[in-house]
Amino acid sequence: MKASRGILILLLLLAVAFSLATVLQLRTPRWTRRSASDSVLALVFGESRQLFANHFFVKADISFHSGYYPSMFDQARQAEENDNDVSHPGEEEAPKPESGFLGPPTDWIDRFGRHFRPVLHVHLQGGNIREILPWLRISAELDPHRVEAYTVASYWMRKHLGKVDEAQQFLREGLRANPDSYELLFELGSLYYDNRHDAGRARNVWLAALRLWQKQEPGKSQPDNLALDQIAVHLAHLEEQEGNLDRAVEYFEMAKRVSPDPPQLQRQIDEIKQRQPRAGSLSPR
């Protein structure tokens, strides 16, 4: 009798708990101001996510260097984090014995210890690039507003791994979280242009990126001129390929104003102007 009463009480408590859960589930997001779509990571880490997101982005760079990286106690760490190689994909180099952040060994402990850790500055090559992707994915999961995680992952996926669909999907995710990001739009435009060979769509996306840049950056004390340079130069090349030489010159002129190498762009402008049909001559339209 006592046992059955105990079971009944337990069942009653379970029923109450279940009913409460169904009621509270709908109300708690309003109390905590948390959206229903927030991930488990957001729930667990809260605002500290951004700190962890940075850590995982740096992990991607460590992975890109195959473990050869300044530790948090080395002075070079800050510089490496601020200017990480994984974000500068164009720079490829051969492995070389490093005298960089490690410097010459200071004593026999230091010298011998180097036999047990990576001491060559290398970058991941070919398909091995895929190894950085989990860290970038986790970084983006933790902080969806870290635009760099999306653009870097997309670049390597579409350029080196042939994962164009995945890159596009990831960029779309990034755009959902950061609809005003000209960096994401620029990368998406590059994907359309380089991988999908869809110049029309690439132009539209790059123009949207340009509009966002013009809306956000000019008022800043240090505007992101590199981004404007990239967007304008890519638009110029696109227009040049499409035969819209006047527009190409316009974009090159725009890029020249912020470019670190204006003479190079001027040469390209001159080349296009030479190819342009002279005023008054008959040209088919």
* Minimum distance from residue 115 beta carbon to other proteins (Å): 4
Q: Which tokens sit at 21?
A: 């859960």
Q: How many residues does this entry show for the chain?
A: 285
Would you count residue 109 as binding other proteins (CB under 8 A)?
yes
- The torsion angles phi and psi of 121, rounded to 5 degrees, stand at -85, 105
Would you count residue 66 as binding other proteins (CB under 8 A)?
yes
Hey, what long-range contacts does 34-39 have (CB within 8 A, 24 or more apart)? 39/141
Q: Which tokens sit at 41?
A: 């990571």
Which one of residues 41, 42, 76, 161 is an interface residue with other proteins (CB under 8 A)?
Answer: 161
Would you count residue 73 as binding other proteins (CB under 8 A)?
yes
3-state secondary structure of 56: helix
Pairing of the two strands 120-121 and 96-97 = antiparallel
Please report, as residue ranges, which positions from 44 to 63 form the binding site for other proteins (by CB under 8 A): 63
CA distance 98 to 170: 35
Would you count residue 170 as binding other proteins (CB under 8 A)?
yes
Which x/- pattern, by CB under 8 A, does the window 117-156 give for other proteins? xx--------x--xx-xxx-x---------------x---
Q: Which H/E stretch holds residue 121?
A: strand 120-121
CA distance 224 to 204: 21
Which one of residues 46, 67, 100, 200 is an interface residue with other proteins (CB under 8 A)?
Answer: 67
Which one of residues 13, 38, 46, 112 is an interface residue with other proteins (CB under 8 A)?
Answer: 112
Would you count residue 95 as binding other proteins (CB under 8 A)?
no
CA distance 109 to 215: 56
Which one of residues 116, 126, 219, 278 is an interface residue with other proteins (CB under 8 A)?
Answer: 116
Would you count residue 92 as binding other proteins (CB under 8 A)?
no
Q: Which residues bind other proteins (CB under 8 A)?
A: 63, 66-67, 71, 73-74, 106-107, 109-110, 112-113, 115-118, 127, 130-131, 133-135, 137, 153, 157, 161, 163, 166, 170
